[in-house]
Structure 1
Amino acid sequence: MVYCGKPSTACDRCRPRRLKCDRATPSCSQCMRAQVICPGYRDALDLNFRDQSDDVVRKVARQGQRKSVITARTSQQVVRSTPLLTFGLPPSRDELAKGYFFTNFGGCHMPYLLAMSEHPRECSINAALTAVGLAALANLHVSQQLMLAARRHYTTALSQTNHALGDAASFRKNETLAGVILLSTFELITCGDGSFIDRWARHMDGAARLIEIRGTRQLKTPEGLHLFTVLRSQIVIGRVYEGRYTSPILTHLTEEAQKYRSPDFQVLDQLGLAIIRVCNFCAAVKDGTLTQPTEIIRSALDLDADLVSILLSVPDSWVYSTAELPEFKQERTMHAVWGDKIHLYRNLTISTAWNKYRSTRLILHELIINTVHTCPLNIISHQERQTLLDQSQKMSRQIVQDICASVPYHLGTSDRGSNPTISGGITIVWPLLVTATSRFASRDFREWVMSCLDGIGHYLGINQALASARLLRDGVETQSWISSEYGNSSPGSSSSR
C-alpha cells in the first residue's frame, strides 16, 4: 500500500481534461455546458491509499519484454497492445478460429450460423464451427498442434450431433442439420487422400436421410429452406459421382421448395429437379437399365434441352457479364485465367448454380460422345453419328471455357474487389474436376486445373482441392457413371490424354 497524496476531486470527465470542476450534483457545470451526462466523482478517502501490486507486476513484465524486443519482434507488438487488457481479454484461439470461418465461409454461405452459435445451448454448432476454422488455419500454417485441437473439437461436435440425432426434440431442428453440414465441411478441409470422396459421400447419405425425415416443414423458414438447398446440391453431386439414384422424396421436396422460394430464386429448384433427373439417368446407364444406344442418346438430348430451357429464362439478376482479357504470352499454368474471358456474377450462389448447370451438361455430352463412339454402325448412320459428335464436341468445348471463365470470380482474382473465400474455393472444385477429366482436357489444360486446385488448397486451407489435384496427377477415374464397357475411351482414363 502506498500513500498517493491528495487526489483530485473533479469528476471523471473534467479530471483528465484538467478542467475546473465545481462538483455540483447531480451534474457539474462543465458537463451541463457540454450537454453530456456527468460520470460522477471518486471517493477521495479510498484514493488516499492505493494497492500498487498490479502496477509492480506490470512494470516487471514490461522490463522483461523490453529485454526481448531485439530477438522477438512479436513481443514488441504484445507490449504495445497491453493497455487493451484493461478493457477485456484478447480473443482466444477458438474465437479466432470461428472468426476466420465467418470471414471466409459462413458470412456469405450460411449467414444464420452466427445467430445459432450465440445460443447458449448450441454447443455442437460452436464445436463444429471451431473445428472447421481451426482445421483451415492448421492447413494454412502447417500446424500439427492446431490440427489436433481441430480434431478434438470435431470429435465433440460429432458426439453432440449424434446425440441430437437420437433425441426427438432435437432431431428436426435446423441447428442439427447445420451441424451435419459443418461436419461434412470439416471432411473436405482435412482430407488427406482420394478416399475423402467416399467419406464425404457417407456424410451425404446421413444428410439425405435427415432431410427426408424432416419433410416439407423444413422448407417453411428461410434457414430451413437454405439448409435444404445446400444439402440437396451436395447430395446430388455425390450421387452423380457414384452413379446412384436419388430418392423420390428428394424430388418431392424439391418440387415443394418452389412454393416457399422468392421468384428470383425458384430457378434453383427447377435446376435442382433437372439435375436430379440427370443423376437418375446416369445411374440407369451405369446399372444397365438403359442399354440401347439410341435410347441413351435420345434421353441425354432431352435432358440437355430441359437444362437449356431453364437457364434461357433466368431472371435479370442471374445474368452475368463477360470481360475480355489481353492474350497471355507467358506460360498458361502461371495464371488464374484460362482463355481470354472472365465472368462476373452478382453473387456466389448464382455463379455456383451456373457451374452446376454447366457441369451437368458436360456430363451429358460426354456420355453422348462415348455412346456414339461405341455404337455399331448399323444402328446410327454415318451422317447422324458425325452430326451428334460435332454438336456435342462444340458444346462441350464451350462449357469448359465457361467454367474456366468463372474461376477468377470464385478465387477472388477478378475485379469484383474481394478476397478468395473458403466457400468460393469449395464450390469450384467439382466443376474443375469435371472439366479436367473430360476428353477435351489437354495436357496443358490439366496442368492449369491442377495449379488452380493446388492454389485453393495452399492458400485457402482446403485439402479437398489438394486431394483432387492428386487424383488428376494419378489419372484416377472420376466419372463412375461411364460404363466399364467404354474402357480406355472414357474421359477420365489416362489413355485418352
Structure 2
Amino acid sequence: MVYRGRLGRGCAECRARKTRCDQARPACGQCKRADRKCTGYQDVASLRVVDQTRDVHIRASKASSGGLSASSRVSHSSPSDGVDFGKPYSQAKRSAGAIVQFSQSSTLASPAYHATIVAANLFFERYVSVWLAHSKNELDFVAPLYIQAKADSMLSNVVTALGLASLSTQQGDRTLAVIAGEKYSKSLCQVQKSLQDPRLAQTDETVATVILLGLYELVDSGGNSKDGQRLLLHLTGAVQLMQLRGKEAILGVEHHMMYQRVASQIELCCLHERQRIPTALLKLEKPLRSRFHAEEVMTADLMYIAARLCEVLTSTRVVDPAAILMNIDCLVAIEGDLNIWFNRRSPRFHAERLPLRNPGEKFLEHKDVYQNDIGASVMNRYRCIRIAANEEIVRLLEMEFELTSTRDNAQRLNHALACILAVSEDIAYSLPYFFGDDSGLRYPTVHASEGRPLMYSGLSCLMPIYLASNPERVSNDMFRWTMRHLEIIAYDIGIPQARSLLAERLAFKPEWPICNNSSKLTAHPVQNI
C-alpha cells in the first residue's frame, strides 16, 4: 500500500486551510472565531486501510510510458557535483555503472518497480513516521508535497532514492543501491531543468527536492571529508531558492518545516566544519521572523548564537597567539548567552526525566522524554553549540598556559570542563527518547524506538553523540554508552558518516572493540525484493 498522506485529526475546514486545529468539541476554536460551521472530525482508524489497486495501476502506466528502455545505463552524480546556484546545475557526470534491466511489457512485474513502491513506504517509515499521532519532526513537510507530486517527478524520484538507499543497507543488496543512484541522478537532472524556469525554481517541490538531495548525500555516501561540503552546497541552494520567494517563503506549516530543516542542518554542518554560517540564511531569517511562532523565534536566536561561535571557530583554525585572550572573551560571552537562552527556553523544549526499564543494566537510571522530535532535536543542537564553545575555550586556554607558563585562568578552565561533562550527560539522557530504553544494551530484546523514525533519529543524534563522547571528558561507562549508540547509527540504521566518527572515537580506546550485533531496531521487517 503506497503512502496516502498524514492521517489528520483536525476538522475538514482546518485541514483545508492548513491551520492548526485545537480539536475542541462540538466545534473547534478556529471555526468559532472565524464564525464558520465546523463539520467535525474524521475517523482516523477508518482511513488506515485504503484499496489503492487502481492508483497503483495508474502510476505504473505513467512510469512505463515515460520511455524506460529495455536496459538503461545507470548515471550517478560525481562527488564534486552539487547545487551551484550561481549557475544552473552542472550536468550530472556519467560514471561506469551496472546495467539495470527493466521490463517494458510488464512494469508491475518488474522487481525494480516493486522496489520503488517498497522504498517510498520505507522512506516515510524511517524519516517521517506519518502513521504516528505524536510524530512531529522537521521532515514532515515531505508528506503533503509527495501526495501532490506526479509519479515520475523530481520529488518522487528523490524520495524513492532515499528509501532504496535504506533498503539497500537493510538487505545488503548492492543492486538496490544502483537503482537508488539512478533515481538520485534523475531527480538531480530534473532539478537542473526546473532551475531554468524562475517560476518552477520557486515551487515547494523544487525547494523540498533540493533539501532531500542534500539528505541523500549524507545517507548514501562513503563518509569522506567532502560529504559535509556537498551537503552545505545543497542546503545553501535551498536557502537561495527561498530568498526568491521573499515573504512568501513561509506561508504554510510545510514551509516552516522546510526552513527549520535547512537552518538546523546548516548550523550543525558549519559547526563541525568550522565554517561561517552563510549570510544568505541570516538574511532570509530577518524578513520571516514576524511569521515565526514563539519556539521558532527561540531557534532563530540559537542560530544567531551559533553564527557568532562559527565566526570564532573559523578565525581560530590557525591560532594567533596575540588574539587568544580576545577570542576566549568572545567565547565566554557566547557561553553566557547560551546559558541565558537555556533558562528562557520554551516550555515545549522542556523534558520530563523518567526511570529507565532495568536501570541496573545500563549506564543511566533515567531518561529524558520530550513533547515531540523537534523539541528534542533543538535541545541537542543547543547542547552541541555549548559543547563546541567550551571545547574551544579549553583548547585556547591550554595554548595560553603553554605560552605564558602560568595558569591564571585555571578556574575558567575548570568551569568549561564541568560544563562539557554536564551537557554531555544531558545528551546521553536524551538517547533513550530517540532509540528506546534497551538500545544501550549489548543484546537488546525488544523493538527499541517504539515506532519513532529511525533514520531521522540517527541523523538528529549523530553530531550530539560524537561531541558528547570525548574520551578525555567523560567516564568509561558513559563512553561505552555513547559508542554503543554511535554503532547503532553506523551499522543498524546505516549512516556512513557514523562509521568514520565511531572509528575516530574508538582510536582513543583500542582495547574496547565493539562488536556489531543487530539491535533489532526495525519494527516491521521489509520483505525481500
Residue 163 of structure 2 corresponds to residue 141 of structure 1: no
1:287 deviates by 5.4
Of 394-403 and 238-247, deviating more is: 238-247
Equivalent residue for 1:374?
399
Partner residue of 1:98 out of 112, 115, 120: 120
1:441 deviates by 4.3
Residue 224 of structure 2 corresponds to residue 194 of structure 1: yes
Partner residue of 2:499 out of 446, 466, 489: 466
Residue 290 of structure 2 corresponds to residue 245 of structure 1: no
CA–CA distance in 2 between the matches of 1:143 and 1:170? 36
Equivalent residue for 1:163?
193
DSSP 3-state at the match of 2:367:
strand
Residue 213 of structure 2 corresponds to residue 178 of structure 1: no
Equivalent residue for 1:254?
285
Change (3 A) 1:437 1:217: farther
Change (3 A) 1:112 1:227: closer
CA–CA distance in 2 between the matches of 1:436 and 1:103? 29
DSSP 3-state at the match of 2:409:
helix
Paired residue type of 1:306:
D
Paired residue type of 2:125:
T
DSSP 3-state at the match of 2:316:
helix
Q: Deviations over 1:257-316 (max 9, x none)?
A: 331112244211111221122112211222558952221121111111111111211222
Q: How does the TM-score come out when normalised to structure 2?
A: 0.65
Q: How is 1:23-422 mapped onto 2 (pairs within 5 angstroms)?
A: 92-106=114-128, 107=130, 108-109=136-137, 110-121=139-150, 123-195=153-225, 196-286=227-317, 291-325=322-356, 338-376=363-401, 382=407, 384-413=408-437, 417-419=450-452, 421-422=454-455
Q: Deviations over 1:299-338 (max 9, x none)?
A: 11111111111121122222101124588666xxxx5xx4
CA–CA distance in 2 between the matches of 1:200 and 1:471? 21
Identity, % of aligned pairs?
A: 20
Paired residue type of 1:164:
S
CA–CA distance in 2 between the matches of 1:363 and 1:438? 15
1:99 deviates by 1.0
Q: Is the 8 A contact 2:356 2:437 kept in 1?
A: no
CA–CA distance in 2 between the matches of 1:409 and 1:253? 32
Equivalent residue for 1:46?
none
Q: Is the 8 A contact 1:204 1:238 kept in 2?
A: no
DSSP 3-state at the match of 2:353:
strand
Change (3 A) 1:471 1:216: farther
Q: How does the TM-score come out when normalised to structure 1?
A: 0.69
Change (3 A) 1:313 1:146: same
Change (3 A) 1:193 1:474: farther
Structure that is richer in helix per residue: 1
Listed as ranges, the gaps of 5+ residues in structure 1 are 1-88, 476-497
Paired residue type of 2:427:
I
DSSP 3-state at the match of 2:210:
helix
1:120 deviates by 4.6
Listed as ranges, the gaps of 5+ residues in structure 2 are 1-109, 131-135, 439-447, 509-529
Equivalent residue for 2:107?
none
Q: Deviations over 1:363-385 (max 9, x none)?
A: 11111111111115897964x42
CA–CA distance in 2 between the matches of 1:252 and 1:445? 40
DSSP 3-state at the match of 2:436:
coil
Change (3 A) 1:223 1:102: same
Question: How many residues are aligned here?
Answer: 382
1:118 deviates by 2.6
Q: Is the 8 A contact 1:140 1:458 kept in 2?
A: no
